[in-house]
Amino acid sequence: MTGSARTSGADRIDTTHTRAARGVELGVEHFGDSAAPLVLLAGGTTMLSWPDSLCAALARGGRHVVRYDLRDAGASTTVDPTTPEYTLRDLAADAAALARTLDDRPAHLAGIGVGGMVAQVAALDHPEAFSALTLAGTRPVAPGPVDDDLPDHDAAAMKPLFARPMPDWADRAAVADFAARGAEILGDDPAAAREIAGRIWDRTPGAAASVHMANQMGTVFAALDCAPRWRERLTSIALPTLVVHGRRDPFFPVGNGQALARDIPGARLLVLESAATAIPDATAAEVAAAMLAL
């Protein structure tokens, strides 16, 4: 572990550092000083998809909160995100390996966005590593064609989202503007998206900035081997499960969360009426309370 800067209480207790897991260095950040582990699996590849406010609320609730960057993003090992030599199941195994380094007890695992897909596979492949499961803003199938009962991306939002010219990824201001405009299209908070994009840019290794920032658009998942399907296995999940979804999410419309809650036995569905793809700070207390209740 490197770069440690420990304080106490529910505030962040370690600055970003790396931890070896299965031969891969993962960029990791800790909140809280409890021994009860809660692992936040990134969406869009970087840990900052989980808001600081939620991390702090969970830590105040007595959890040792750990958020981390997926491979090929942020402070984690990066090789070539356009042609990853690992699979979705490898990313799931990374989550289990990290959880085992934190405590002898199983960890609560949470995944957001495409990271929620990884979390589902992790819970299926490594059930002994986890005590509970939270799935936020995700769906029960891999990127690509969806099942007939799952609503696809909202075409009215996707057209302007993907029609935008790419920014100069080496220009911090241009990247922040690009993120803010994307958030506006999706129904998220543009100011929050601008601030997070700037933070991601600041913590991205210099020469690799273009690759890492482009990763935020999900390029690594577009190239990732996500086979085999796992939806048919969801009925075997025995972990207490919470599904969180924004009512106004145009990327993974709320029907996807509703389907997940139906597929996983005993899962609770929490619909955030004012949210789109991101978890707004205003809902952090509500989401934290639901997660802590598992």
Output the pTM of the full model: 0.93
Q: Which band of pLDDT confidence, cut at 50, 70 and 90, is reported for residue 217?
A: very low
Q: Give the CA distances from residue 245 to residues 30, 205, 230, 293, in Å, rounded to whole numbers and listed in that order.
A: 25, 32, 20, 17
Distances (CA, A) of 6 to 17, 32, 60: 12, 10, 16
DSSP class per residue in 19-38: EEETTEEEEEEEE-S-SSEE
Q: How far is it, in rounded angstroms, from Cα 11 to Cα 7?
A: 8
Give which of 135, 123, 110, 89 is closest to 260, Cα–Cα: 135
Residue 2, pLDDT score = 41
What residue segments make up the domains of the chain, in order of their start? Answer: 12-154+206-292
* Mean pLDDT confidence for 90-110: 95
CB half-sphere exposure, 222, CA atoms < 13 A: 8
Give the tens place of pLDDT for each residue, 129-156. 999 999 999 999 999 899 999 999 999 9
Q: In what order do the strands lie in the sheet with 24-31?
A: 12-21, 24-31, 64-68, 37-41, 107-112, 130-136, 241-246, 268-272
| CATH fold for domain 12-154+206-292 | Rossmann fold (3.40.50)
pLDDT in tens, 38-60: 999 998 768 999 999 999 999 99
Q: With cut-offs at 50, 70 and 90, classify the pLDDT of residue 9.
A: low
